[in-house]
Amino acid sequence: MDDRTLETKAEAVFEFDKKIRFIAVLTTEGEVLGQVFRPGVVSLEPESDTKMIYMKAGIAFGMTSPMDKYHGRVKSVVMNREKVVVMCFNHGSKIVLVSAEPGFENVDELGRLIQEAGIG
């Protein structure tokens, strides 16, 4: 998914909640397939660290797969950090990573919206 296609699909997500900062679609290895920031928002980390963060998101999902046969597959992972909420949604061979301002709580609704919008 290129950035332009993601940008179009992301509009509904950005309209859903003003706290949403960023959306990326990644492979399970952390390769970026597309990414888009809310207009006016800048990254909290230097670009040089972003690739490692994405790679670790892919690894985190991969590490849970042995438990899938017992617990079912991971649908989402939420990290509430001091400066940002980071959410990762499982879309089979892709991961949709979304960041939001602290206090964001509509994770399940966001997951459904991402699915309906065809992101990932």
Query: 86, 82, 102: which is closest to 53 by C-alpha?
Result: 86
**Burial of 45 from C-beta contacts in 10 A (0-12 / 13-18 / 19+):** exposed
Q: Order the strands of the 76-80 sheet from edge to edge.
A: 32-37, 20-27, 94-100, 85-91, 76-80
Fold assignment, 3-117? Beta-Lactamase (3.30.450)
14-61 confidence digits (pLDDT tens):
999 999 999 999 998 889 999 999 999 999 999 889 888 888 888 887
Percent of residues, the chain, with pLDDT higher than 70 = 98
51 phi/psi in degrees, rounded to 5: -60, -40
The pTM is what?
Answer: 0.91
- Could you tell me the two tokens for 118? 């065809």
